């Protein structure tokens, strides 16, 4: 079981000392609100470990350098290093997110409005990605449910659809001759999955504002699902009655289903999903067995009771 109820690993143990010390000035506490969160001045002395969510894993985190240089963000190219090279082109201020569809109070939130009532926590979630690699990332985020409650879902709402920004002038992948995906990138969750306390909107990592290549300024993190469910740079959230389309299912329905729960027992048609390669452990890193629901089974298995997960992959 990866969720731990005692303080997780200290960031000083998982990052190099110089990097940790140079970042200390940017660290922030759980009790400060988002508006002061990324202020350039020194934050109150508050350690990462004090600010960590009780849901954090006790596994060592992947280094900041690996988390921010090995990415999938096809709007900036299909190579793992393309987002780190190209995502600086994206303007993330100002930013707003529309939340609409089957809700009583459809709202377009400025990012600041979205964060204002929320006390951010430092959370460490383990995110496993579909290619068979895995990372442990100390996200800064808050439950998506907080936003959904503010717009008051109607009884008819069954699903939540997400959409990434479409801005070809700043996202070269959306302009490329070879279009890797249909734009904008879209994703979806069942409403009960979206309301789950492990489903978060991330606005930072390692105590810093979210780097562009990781989905700035706001992205989804669903730690028990394969990485592609965690849609980046979100501009629209729509509550729907029907199951919404998802980018990878649209691209290749035989290989990618709607649910995409981490499941070592169900192979991808072209590769086994039984093991994963931890990123950043060097040339001789050993593959590790992948856990059902990425280790969050105790928290989420009940959502799928009675469902055949080989059919609903």
Q: Which residues bind ligand MTE (CB under 6 A)?
A: 71-75, 129-130, 164, 185, 214-215, 227-228, 230-233
Taking the complex as a whole, the smallest distance from the CB of residue 71 to ligand MTE amounts, in Å, to: 3
Rounded-to-integer distance, Cα 246 and Cα 213, Å: 21
- Six-digit token pair at 166? 């479409």
Contact between 220 and 246 (Cβ < 8 Å): no
Nearer to ligand MTE, 15 or 164 (CB): 164
Q: DSSP states of 183-227 as a string?
A: SSPEEEEEHHHHTSTT-EEEEEETTEEPPGGGTTT-EEE-TTB-G
Taking the complex as a whole, the smallest distance from the CB of residue 141 to ligand MTE amounts, in Å, to: 12
Nearer to ligand MTE, 48 or 234 (CB): 234
Taking the complex as a whole, the smallest distance from the CB of residue 291 to ligand MTE amounts, in Å, to: 17
Nearer to ligand MTE, 67 or 102 (CB): 67
Nearer to ligand MTE, 15 or 230 (CB): 230
Rounded-to-integer distance, Cα 233 and Cα 19, Å: 26
- Six-digit token pair at 182? 């249909």
Q: Which residues contact 312 (CB under 8 A, 6 or more apart)?
A: 257, 258, 259, 304
- Six-digit token pair at 233? 């740079």
Taking the complex as a whole, the smallest distance from the CB of residue 279 to ligand MTE amounts, in Å, to: 9
Taking the complex as a whole, the smallest distance from the CB of residue 11 to ligand MTE amounts, in Å, to: 18
Taking the complex as a whole, the smallest distance from the CB of residue 142 to ligand MTE amounts, in Å, to: 17
Rg of the chain over CA atoms, in angstroms? 19
Nearer to ligand MTE, 11 or 68 (CB): 68
- Provide the CA 271 distance to its chain's centre, in angstroms: 24
- Six-digit token pair at 244? 């919404």
Q: How would you list the strands of the sheet with 186-190, edge to edge?
A: 107-110, 96-101, 234-240, 159-164, 186-190
Q: Nearest-CB residue to ligand MTE?
A: 227
- Six-digit token pair at 44? 């109150």
Taking the complex as a whole, the smallest distance from the CB of residue 262 to ligand MTE amounts, in Å, to: 12
Rounded-to-integer distance, Cα 20 and Cα 243, Å: 43
Does residue 94 have a cis bond before it (omega within 30 degrees)? yes
Nearer to ligand MTE, 57 or 230 (CB): 230
Nearer to ligand MTE, 8 or 83 (CB): 83
């Amino acid at each position: 079981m990866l969720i731990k109820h005692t303080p997780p690993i200290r960031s000083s143990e998982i990052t190099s000392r110089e990097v940790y010390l140079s970042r200390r000035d940017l660290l922030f506490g759980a009790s400060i609100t988002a508006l002061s969160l990324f202020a350039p001045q020194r934050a109150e002395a508050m350690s990462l470990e004090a600010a960590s969510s009780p849901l954090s894993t006790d596994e060592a985190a992947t280094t900041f350098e690996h988390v921010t240089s090995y990415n999938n963000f096809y709007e900036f190219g299909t190579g793992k290093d393309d987002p780190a090279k190209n995502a600086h082109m994206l303007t993330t201020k100002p930013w707003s997110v529309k939340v609409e569809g089957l809700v009583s109070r459809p709202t377009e939130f400025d990012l600041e409005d979205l964060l204002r009532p929320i006390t951010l926590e430092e959370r460490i979630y383990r995110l496993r990605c579909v290619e068979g690699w895995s990372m442990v990332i100390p996200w800064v985020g808050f439950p998506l449910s907080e936003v959904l409650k503010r717009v008051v879902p109607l009884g008819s709402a069954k699903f939540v659809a997400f959409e990434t920004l479409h801005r070809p002038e700043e996202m070269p992948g959306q302009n490329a001759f070879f279009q890797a995906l249909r734009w904008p990138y879209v994703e979806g969750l069942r409403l009960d999955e979206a309301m789950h306390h492990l489903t978060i909107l991330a606005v930072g990592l390692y105590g810093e504002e979210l780097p562009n290549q990781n989905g700035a300024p706001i992205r989804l993190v669903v730690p028990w699902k394969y990485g592609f469910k965690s849609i980046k740079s979100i501009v629209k959230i729509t509550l729907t009655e029907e199951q919404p389309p998802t980018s990878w299912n649209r691209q290749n329905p035989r290989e990618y289903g709607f649910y995409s729960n981490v499941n070592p027992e169900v192979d991808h048609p072209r590769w086994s999903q039984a093991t994963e390669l931890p990123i950043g452990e060097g040339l001789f890193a050993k593959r590790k067995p992948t856990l059902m629901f990425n280790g969050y089974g105790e928290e989420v298995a009940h959502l799928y009771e009675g469902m055949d997960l080989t059919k609903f992959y």
